[in-house]
Structures are given as C-alpha cells and as structure tokens.
Amino acid sequence: MQYVDFIAIGPLLILAVFIVAVMLLIALRRNHKTTMALSLFGLLASFGNIPFAARFAPRAVTPLLIIDGYALFYMGLILVAAAATVAMAYGYLDKQDEAPEEFYLLMLIATLGSMVMVACNHVGSFFLGLEILSVSLYALSAYTRARTESLEAGLKYLVLAGVSASFLLFGAALIYAETGTMDFATIGAIFEKAPEARHSLTLMVGLGFLIVSVGFKLAVTPFHMWTPDIYQGAPAPVTAFVATASKGAVAAFLVRLFAPIDLNAWPSLYAIFACMAVGSMVAGNLLALMQTNVKRLLAYSSIAHMGYLLTAFLAGGKNSAVFVAFYLAAYSVSIMGCFGVMTLFSEKDRDADSINDYRSLFYSRPWLAGVFTAMLLSLAGIPLTAGFIGKFFVVSANVGSSHWGLVTTLALTSGAGLFYYLRIIVAMFTPLTDGESVPVSQKPSVPVLSAMTLTALSTLLVWLGVTPSWFMELIGRMIR
Amino acid sequence: MIMAWLILIPVLSGIFAWSLELRFRGSARWTALVALAVGLGFTCYLAHQPFELVPSGGPYFMNLDIPWIASAGIHFHLAMDGLSLVLVLLTHFLGIVAVLSSWTEISEKAGFFYFNLLWVLAGIIGVFLSMDLFLFYFFWEMMLIPMFFLISVYGHENRIYASVKFFLFTQISGLFMLLAILGLYFVHGKQTGQYTFNYFDLMGTPMTGTMGILFMLGFLTAFAVKLPAVPFHTWLPDAHTEAPTAGSIILAGLLLKTGAYGMIRFVIPLFPEASAAAAPAVMALSVVGIIYGALLALSQTDFKRLVAYTSVSHMGFVMLGIFAWNTLALQGAVVQMICHGLSTGALFFLAGILKDRLHTRDLGQMGGLWATAPRLAGMTLFFALASLGLPGLGNFIAEFTILMGVFQVNKIIAATASLGLVGAAVYSLWIIQAAFHGPLKVKKTFADLSFRETAALTLMLVGLVYLGLNPGPVFRMAQPSLDHLTRIVSITNPGLPNPAKPFSFNTSTPHPSENPGGTGHAIR
C-alpha cells in the first residue's frame, strides 16, 4: 500500500481509530455525555475527511476496496445518518436503565461495516462489511434488554441475518467455482460480455443466492417478513439506523453489483427484480393500511419504499444510479425525522409507537407535530418536500424507459399509501375530548442535540424539496 | 416579477400570520386581510394593463421564466393572459370574503387556520399562472394539503372522513395527471431531442392516437375530479358539508375552478385530436352532471349539502361549455366560473351564518326566518335567484351564452342541458321557502347580519349585478386568450387543418378588423 491509499481510505481509518478511542474511554471512565460527544466527533471527523479522500478517487485500495465517488457519496450519507442517530439516541438512552455507553461503540462499528459495504469490490470485503454491520445490529436491536420485544427483535435478526449470510456465502462460492474470481467488477463483466454464462446452472444459482441475500437485507417482498418485528422491537434509534444506513449500504451494493449489466437486455433478471419491486409496493402499502403501531406501519412503508427504490434501479439508463442515490437520501432524511420524533416521546418501558400516543400532539407540541407531519408528507411524496422530488424522478425515469406497468403500480399503490400516512397526521390534529388522556407524556424535555438534529433534518427536507438541482449535480458529479 | 410576488405574498404572509398569532391573539385575520388586499391591489393594477400590453403574437402579456431544475428541463415559468388574470382576480376577491366569513367563526388556533387559508390561495394562484407542467403539478398538489387541514382541523362533526376522502380522490387522480405529464414530456423529448416541461413547447406534440387518448384521460381525470364531474363528484358533498365556512367558499369558489381552468388551458390545447374524439362523451357526461346534480339537490335537507349538489349541476355547464370549444361557449364558461364562484360562495357563507346562529344546517328545522332576520333572508333570496339564473344577474348571462355556444355544436345536448335550469329554479326557491317562509320553527331570536357580513355579501351582490348588466369587461379580458386557443386548436372539426371558422358568426377571426370586438361586442 502506498501513502495515498491511506488518505483514500481515510474516512474508514479515522472511524476505526475513534472506535478504539471510544472503547478505551468507556474502559477508563463511564460517562454518557463524553462518550456520546467523542462518537459524534468521530463520525463528523470521518465525514470531514471525505473531500480529502475524493482527491484520489477513484482508487482501488488493495483488491478488496474501491474508493470512488460513488463509495464516498454513500459513505457520507451513512455517516450523516449515523450522526443523526447518535445525536438523537442521547436523550433516549438517558431514560433507559441500561448502561448507555456501549450503544455508541456498537453504533460506530455498525457504521464502519456499512461504509465497508459501499466501498467493497470483492466478495470477501463485502462479507466482512456485512458481518461487522450485522453483528453490531444484533446487539443493538436487543439493547433495551428489559423489554421482551427488544430481545425478540435481536434474536430474529440474528437468525435471519445468519440465513441471509449463508445464502451469500454459498452463492459466492458457486460463482467462484465457475468463474474463478471473487471480484465484483469481473463477475459483472462476465455476465454482460459472455451471454453463454447466462445458461450456466451453477452461475445462475449462485447469482440467485446473491439476490436472495440482498433481498433479505433490503427487505423486499418476498423476503420482507422480518421487518415489522425488528422495527417494532428494536429501540427507536436503532430502527432509524436499520432503516437508513443499513438499507442504504445494501442498496448501494446492489447498484454497484449490477452496474455493468444492462438489465433491460436480460429479460429474466429484469422480471425477477420487477416482481420484487411490484410485490414490495403492493404488499408494503396494503399491509401498512391495517397497522395501528407506528413502528410497524413505518416498517411496511419502508418495504414499499424499497419497492420504489428497486423501480428506480430498474429504470436503467445512465441516470438510474443518480435517482437511486437521490431517492435514498430523501427517504433517509424523512424516515430519520420520523424516528427522531418518536425517540423524543419514548419512555423507559416502551417506545411511543402507538398512533394513540400522537393524538392531539399538534395542540401540545405544535413544532414537533409540524416536523413529524412534514416527514410523513415527504414519505408520501407531497410537493415542497424531498420525497416528492425523489418520487418524481423515479416515476419520470421509468416513464422515460416506458416501464408502464411499474409506474402504474407505483402510482396506484402510493395513492393507497397516502391513507396510512394521513392516519397518523389526522391523529396529531384530532383534539382530545374531555377526560381522555394520551398514553405517553406529550411534554417531554427535548434535548438540545435532538432539537438541532430535527431542525437540520427539516431544513434539509424542504431545501431538497424546493431546490434539488444542486444536490442532483453533486450526486451526478460524485457518482459518474 | 410581479407574478412571483402574487404567489409569494400569501406564502410569506401565511408564515407571518401564524407566528404573529402566537404572540398577539387575533392578529392573524388582519394579516390575512391586508395581504389579500395588497394582492388584489396588484391584480387590479394589472387588469388595467393588458389591453395595451397584448403583443401581436399571443394573448400573454406577462412572462417570467427562471430555470429551476435545469437538468430536467424544469423552469419556474409563469405567464399571464386575460383568462389567468380574471381567475386570479376572483381568487383574491373570494379570499377576502373567506377571511371575512371566518372573522369570528375561527377563534381557536386561528394562526394555523389563516396560514392554511393563505397557502391554499397561493397554490391556486400558482395553478392559474404556471406555464411549466412540472410547476403546475407542484402547485396543484400544494393546494391540497392546506385544504386538507382546513377541513380536518376546523370542520364539523364528520370532518375526518370528509377530508380523507377529499384528499384521496384528488391526490390519486393527480397521480394520473403526473403520469400523463411525464408521458408527454418523454414523447416530446424523444421526437425533438428537447426535454422540457414548457407548456408552449409541448403544445402540438405529435403522438399516436392511443397515446393521445391515454394522456388526455390522465389530465381529464384529475380535472374532472376537481370540477367535479359525475361520476367523480362524491367527495364534494361530504367535503362541503364538513368544511368550515371559509373552506366551503374556497372549495366551491376556487378549487373547482382549477379543474375547469385545467381543461381550457391543458386538456384541449395539448391533446386536440383526443379531446375531439372524447368531446361527445364528455358533453354527454356534463349533461348527466347538470341534471343529476339538480335532482340530487332537490332531495337534500341539509343546506350546505344542497348547495354542494347545485355546484355539481352548475359546473356541469362549465364543462359543457368548454368541450363545445367555440369562443361563445368558452366565454360563457369563464363567466359561469366567476358567477358560480360568487353566488355559491355567498350561499355557503349564508349557510355558515345560519349554522352559526341556529346550530343546524337542516332546512327542516328552519322555516319562517324572514321575520326574525330580514336582511339575511333578503340576501339569501338574491343569491338563490342568481343561482337559478335570473336575467339581469351574471349567472343568466353565463348559462345563456354557454347554451348558445353549445347549440351550434349539438342541439339535442343543448336542449337537454337547459332542463337543468328548471331544476335550478325549483331547488333555489325551495331553499327560500323552507328556510324563510312558512311557520316559524325556531323560537329563539338571533342577530341579523352584522355589518361585516353585510359588507362582504354586498360586495358579491354588486359583482353579480355588474356581471349581469355589463359582462363586457370580463368577455373582453378573456377574449384574446380564448380566441387564440380556439384559433390554434379546433376540436369540432378535427379533420380540417387549423380551421379558423368552425361556425358562422362567433369564433376566431383572423382579421380583427372584420369583427373588432369579437363576441364581447356581439353579446353586449
């Protein structure tokens, strides 16, 4: 390795250094505030290093990692999501009985894992990143040990992630047996340039297993069953992280893996993804209609959103990666905001995840209700929010490729989807009648950090919704 | 830039009103009133400009074009012609009436109320001015959320159901329009290599027949739901009944007009062949709406619900006039849009006043109120008469002109549609009889119209009388745009290339000298 290689992977290295530092700090002296501050500083320092790394991009650092604009963009996204999670987890963990410090350690490790995933160029590094992420997430999901549902979530995630990892390993092994390479770019090139490879049973099974494993992580139909339970059981900040950084990393990997392959020229593969997309949009949106638990509702809505994301991915053409990235960014901001509000109202023994917890919130906390409303409207894809622009580009790209079936499904299902977002909004605007009370305290103290984070997220939401040009250009510049 | 300000004033003052209300109670309504008055002032100023500013090329006298998302061909493009101007004028006028109507009705959470009110108006003004289809869709959606809040937060008993129904109907139909917009965008882009949402560029995009029909239906669905045309009208009675007074006024007076405006501006000019093919069906549907709305109105006992169904009937005339597509019928449709806005807005205002005093909207529980509240009764009589199309008032001119225009296209449809006028006479008089005549059913006395209410209603009354006696200014303002539109697209004779004169005396004259005032003069 050369000197510049170290600068190129600077964001990863810095985060790793801070992981060790946080670990030592916890060993030396337990202090919630200091640990949180150091973790947040570590994330921001790593983020601040991205421009320096970008000077040497694209650069393959060992055969395992490739640091290009694409990887760096997603690293930035993951770091921002992680920083927001950490900032909002502070107030949440303050209310819990468990020692809060290790939460930050695990969060940093999970972030590192996601960042490796978006920069991977090799089955080995992908597997490493995935496992670093997953193992920390098992522990994070079960972090609030006193709650049974949290333990259940941790265990479920352990089993499912284990299964999906074994699919990945087996699939990769099959592909390796046939092609003799574990390098993603080479594998992709083989599929694209040697059409006879598409008739090899071993390769197809291997590829199929890879898709299954990615499908599990993305939680697209028919691999979506775990999502509601994990979303519901895991502590709200962890759910936020799973929904944004973890899914974002997998989506980034998916796009990178299939970048050399022209999906529209490979009908069977296209059909598989199209079925997953349509299934996710339909199942996610319809199942969400029935939910009374906000976390479960958002879990189903996230399944639908992953369906939209796959639709963007399927649009093909040179801009599809840009649209996926924009959509993911918009989605991350909105869902992070939703869970951010939720963490504020969560109490020691339970998260504020019932729709009833938000009854008449508009009258007791108008600003928080406003933020929550904006985030939900963004998820629903209403103008003035980032979600609208994201969805608009997804639809527009697919109309451009004449994928009318996908687009019509998207329009119809997201129309149905409005209904459940509205339910939460309506609940917030419904006043309590005399004698009624809300299950949780609607007058929580709002920590400064949470307030700042929510303000930043809301600003970003509207900013991206009104002037998306600069961000599109940024993505376009980094990704190409 | 003045057009951008027309949108920005309500947007900014909405935020300002909300934050000021938190500090000083009761300030929001003043803020809203002042903001709208300023906007009205601007628009009136503009109304004195157009006739000198009309450039020879087209009817637009103002244009503002700023790149927004340039990479996708999206511009912040506003333009104003007489048609837009008339409707923007109406928006400000009814906005002021809406503020006056909720002056005392809304006392709780007033800041958020006026915020939503101003933002709906901003969205509506944006819709009337946008010449970029993306921007148009943006404003189209922007009207929705504040209206949803107006109904769901400030409405009556069944408000949640009504607001959600309203939202789902309009939003889902809007998504179809989005698909059609994008389809058009790509068809145009692939043929010319220029990817743009610019209305003027997209006009005349050649496309296959099926594609044209599908895209046209996408637009038409969104507009027909808003209008509302049978069978998409079911959200309207619920939304009207449950909305607060100001909500009803804006809904009936302005939101429905955006649907009609969309048909005039987008559906027919962008898809002339498809519209020509669909015109007989759409006209038949309009007639069904006219008669069906009138029949349903006859069987209502709820004051607001009754007026809501009369809207279905009256807006049926508008759609009929639009799809007849000659200047005469279009002129009538435009005047009908304004008169319906005024008369129905006033009737909703009166229903709100009655509800406020009597705590009921049930006509069966009223009766004999003339003695208790003569001014209220007199006003209601006036607007009911306007609604039934009494000669001398604006609605008469409008419906008469529409029927005259339609008669040239299809005599049977015109004859059938005129049955709606009979229905209108019956239900309008039934309101008066049920509420104000007969034995007195309400024992308690209540206040007659206050000065504020009288003032607002008088403004609308004067407007209707003025339009009834002298509709010329509106005709003249809308004339250049409508002439222009009927000249560049003809749907009545789709086979002919650019036919200037589908009919003998009224339409587009290539040489203004032959018929200097156009229809406006002919009518007066």
Reported as a pLDDT band with limits 50, 70 and 90, residue B70 is confident
Question: By C-alpha distance, which of B95, B93, B520, B190 is closest to B332?
Answer: B520
Measure CB to CB from residue A395 to each of B139, B171, B178 and give the nearest one.
B178
Helix (H, G, I), strand (E, B) or coil at B302: strand
Encoding tokens for residue B162?
Answer: 């009504």
Residue-wise pLDDT for B347-388, tens only, equals 999 999 888 888 888 888 887 888 888 888 899 999 999 998
Mean pLDDT throughout A258-287? 89
Q: Are A330 and A464 in contact (CB under 8 A)?
A: yes
Q: What percent of chain B stands above pLDDT 70?
A: 92
Mean pLDDT (chain B, rounded): 85
**How far away is chain A from the Cα of B171, in angstroms, using its nearest Cα?**
7
> Cβ A429–B182 below 8 Å, yes or no?
no
Chain A partners within 8 Å of B70 (Cβ): 469
**How many residue contacts between A and B have a Cβ separation below 8 Å?**
72
Measure CB to CB from residue A399 to each of B139, B145, B183 and give the nearest one.
B183
Helices A247-258, A201-218: crossing angle, 10 deg rounding:
150
**How far away is chain B from the Cα of A396, in angstroms, using its nearest Cα?**
6
Displacement of CA A302 from its chain's centroid (Å): 9
Q: Interior CA angle at A263 toward A258 and A269, to 5°? A: 90
Confidence at residue B514, expressed as pLDDT on a 0 to 100 scale: 36
Identify the residue whose tokens are 């990863």. A12
Chain B partners within 8 Å of A366 (Cβ): 112
Chain A partners within 8 Å of B185 (Cβ): 396, 399
Question: By C-alpha distance, which of B41, B72, B154, B60 is closest to B106?
Answer: B154
> Cβ A411–B176 below 8 Å, yes or no?
yes
Mean pLDDT check: name the lowest of A111-125, B211-225, B302-316, B435-449: B435-449
Residue-wise pLDDT for B235-277, tens only, equals 999 999 899 999 999 999 999 999 999 999 999 889 988 888 8
Encoding tokens for residue A161?
Answer: 């992630």
What type of residue sits at position A53? A
Encoding tokens for residue A400?
Answer: 């451009």
**How far away is chain A from the Cα of B141, in angstroms, using its nearest Cα?**
6
Residue-wise pLDDT for B444-487, tens only, equals 777 888 899 999 999 999 999 999 998 888 888 888 888 888 88
Chain A partners within 8 Å of B160 (Cβ): 426, 430
Position A162 pLDDT exceeds 50:
yes
> Cβ A426–B178 below 8 Å, yes or no?
no
More confident residue, B448 or A18: A18
Q: Which residues contact A309 (CB under 8 A, 6 or more apart)?
A: A218, A251, A324, A327, A328, A331, A394
Q: Which of B71, B139, B208 to mutate to test the interface with A (most CBs of A within 10 A)?
A: B71
Residue-wise pLDDT for B72-124, tens only, equals 889 999 988 888 999 999 999 999 999 999 888 888 788 889 999 999 999 99
Position B287 pLDDT exceeds 90:
yes
CA–CA dist A438, A424 (Å, integer) = 14
Q: What is the DSSP string of A84-125?
A: HHHHHHHHHHHTSSS--HHHHHHHHHHHHHHHHHHHB-BHHH
Mean pLDDT throughout A383-388? 90
> Cβ B109–A468 below 8 Å, yes or no?
no
Confidence at residue A317, expressed as pLDDT on a 0 to 100 scale: 72
> Cβ A411–B168 below 8 Å, yes or no?
no
What is the number of other CB atoms lying within 10 angstroms of the CB of residue A99? 12
CA–CA dist B24, B352 (Å, integer) = 26
Mean pLDDT throughout B396-423? 91
Chain B partners within 8 Å of A396 (Cβ): 72, 182, 185
> Chain A: which residues have CB within 8 Å of chain B?
362-363, 366, 377, 382-384, 388, 392-393, 395-396, 399-400, 407-408, 411-412, 414-415, 418-419, 422, 426, 429-430, 467-469, 472-473, 476
> Cβ A414–B167 below 8 Å, yes or no?
no
Helix (H, G, I), strand (E, B) or coil at B515: coil
Measure CB to CB from residue B164 to each of A422, A468, A469 and give the nearest one.
A422
Measure CB to CB from residue A429 to each of B134, B141, B152 and give the nearest one.
B152
Residue-wise pLDDT for B139-173, tens only, equals 998 898 899 999 988 888 888 899 989 998 998 89
Q: Closest residue of A to B177, CA-based?
A: A411
Measure CB to CB from residue B138 to each of A383, A393, A418 and give the nearest one.
A383
Position A282 pLDDT exceeds 80:
yes
Question: By C-alpha distance, which of A188, A420, A194, A401 is closest to A312?
Answer: A401
Measure CB to CB from residue A422 to each of B167, B172, B182 and give the nearest one.
B167
Residue-wise pLDDT for A54-82, tens only, equals 988 788 888 899 999 999 999 999 999 99
CA–CA dist A334, A194 (Å, integer) = 42
Q: Which of B76, B179, B185 to mutate to test the interface with A (most CBs of A within 10 A)?
A: B179
Interface predicted TM-score (ipTM) over 0.90: no
**How far away is chain B from the Cα of A366, in angstroms, using its nearest Cα?**
10
Mean pLDDT throughout A151-179? 92
Q: What percent of chain A stands above pLDDT 70?
A: 100
> Cβ A392–B178 below 8 Å, yes or no?
yes
Q: Closest residue of B to A468, CA-based?
A: B69
What is the number of other CB atoms lying within 10 angstroms of the CB of residue B72? 20
Q: Are A386 and A330 in contact (CB under 8 A)?
A: yes
Residue-wise pLDDT for A302-335, tens only, equals 999 999 999 999 987 777 888 999 999 999 999 9
Q: Are A222 and A149 in contact (CB under 8 A)?
A: no
Question: Which pTM was predicted?
Answer: 0.89
Q: What percent of chain B stands above pLDDT 90?
A: 44
More confident residue, B80 or A298: A298
Measure CB to CB from residue B164 to each of A388, A412, A419 and give the nearest one.
A419
CA–CA dist B337, B311 (Å, integer) = 11
**How far away is chain A from the Cα of B349, in angstroms, using its nearest Cα?**
25
Identify the residue whose tokens are 């502070």. A90
Chain A partners within 8 Å of B112 (Cβ): 366
Q: Are A395 and A410 in contact (CB under 8 A)?
A: yes
Q: What percent of chain A stands above pLDDT 90?
A: 58
Measure CA of the first residue to CA of the last residue in chain A; give whole Å. 25
List the beta bridge partners of residue B366. Answer: none
Q: Closest residue of A to B195, CA-based?
A: A400
Position A388 pLDDT exceeds 50:
yes
Confidence at residue B516, expressed as pLDDT on a 0 to 100 scale: 37
Q: Which of A382, A421, A473 to mutate to test the interface with B (most CBs of B within 10 A)?
A: A382
Q: What's the burial of A402, exposed, middle or buried (CB within 10 Å: 0-12/13-18/19+)?
A: exposed
CA–CA dist B454, B349 (Å, integer) = 11
Position B59 pLDDT exceeds 90:
no
What type of residue sits at position B307? V
Residue-wise pLDDT for A404-429, tens only, equals 889 989 988 988 888 899 889 988 88
Q: Interior CA angle at A64 toward A61 and A67, to 5°? A: 45
Identify the residue whose tokens are 């129309």. A415
Q: Which of B145, B177, B225 to mutate to test the interface with A (most CBs of A within 10 A)?
A: B145
More confident residue, B494 or B372: B372
Question: By the CB < 8 Å criterion, does B168 face chain A?
Answer: yes
More confident residue, B396 or B509: B396
Q: What is the dihedral of CA B274, B280, B285, B291, to 10 degrees?
A: 150
Residue-wise pLDDT for B18-36, tens only, equals 888 888 888 889 999 999 9
> Cβ B168–A426 below 8 Å, yes or no?
no
Q: What is the DSSP string of A400-425?
A: HTT-HHHHHHHHHHHHHHHHHHHHHH
Reported as a pLDDT band with limits 50, 70 and 90, residue A39 is very high
**How far away is chain B from the Cα of A426, in angstroms, using its nearest Cα?**
7
Position B512 pLDDT exceeds 60:
no
Q: Are A387 and A376 in contact (CB under 8 A)?
A: no
**How far away is chain B from the Cα of A332, in angstroms, using its nearest Cα?**
22
